[in-house]
Chains A and B, each alone.
Chain A
Amino acid sequence: AQKITQTQPGMFVQEKEAVTLDCTYDTSDPSYGLFWYKQPSSGEMIFLIYQGSYDQQNATEGRYSLNFQKARKSANLVISASQLGDSAMYFCAMRVMDSNYQLIWGAGTKLIIKP
């Protein structure tokens, strides 16, 4: 069965520190994609970063990077030099062919950045 697990319901991090948000996935499909979305208190869903299962290098987008460990089936989001505006819910999602390429979502992690 396809599944995304985010084990951290909430996290507090000091401003300017780096933060790692955990995501593990389960699929038997060799071809899949992993996404991270940010949902601030205003409610919209903002795409952050994508990693394909065949990508050789870890994805990076500005302060966001994805620590992709295929053997461990983990796709952790790393935010460097955290800012107050990073306070939000963060969702990990997976897309696999077996699910007709629909996104399977984790329950999310609430990140709060402390000044």
Chain B
Amino acid sequence: NAGVTQTPKFRILKIGQSMTLQCTQDMNHNYMYWYRQDPGMGLKLIYYSVGAGITDKGEVPNGYNVSRSTTEDFPLRLELAAPSQTSVYFCASSYYQKKTQYFGPGTRLLVL
């Protein structure tokens, strides 16, 4: 009963480095989402995908890229990491846009 899984759980990056946050769901959900949560705040949508090969920007897409080559996977790429990208990143999925979103455990990222 895996649901939505994310790796890594925690990562420290130096300014200017790049990394990919992995997200996989085994519920055959069409929709997948990436959020960031800054301390003491609610979630902000970075990117979302309505199916394999289709992605779109959310509220805060700058500094990130995504791809969706399969239904199961939705990786988030950070290029040229900046301290402002220090946050907790959540991946979520839903069957379609009107259905409940289910979340992964999150990735805590620290950029120094």
Contacts and interface: CB of A to CB of B under 8 A. Distances in A.
Interface of A: 4, 33, 35, 37, 42-47, 50, 91, 93, 95, 100-103, 105-108
Given A44-B106, A91-B42, A107-B40, 7 more contacts: A35-B100, A43-B106, A47-B102, A102-B58, A102-B59, A107-B41, A107-B42
A105 B41 CA distance: 9
Contact of A43 (B40, B42, B59, B88): B88
A101 B33 CA distance: 12
B74 interface: no
A47 B3 CA distance: 13
A105 B33 CA distance: 14
Given A91-B43, A106-B42, A44 B98 contact: no
Interface residues of B, number: 24
Contacts of A107: 40-42
Contacts of B33: 102
Nearest to B59: A102
Contacts of A102: 33, 45, 48, 58-59, 97
Contact of A95 (B43, B90, B98, B105): B98
B34 to A, nearest CB: 12
A50 B102 CA distance: 13
Contact of A103 (B56, B88, B101, B106): B101
Contacts of B44: 105
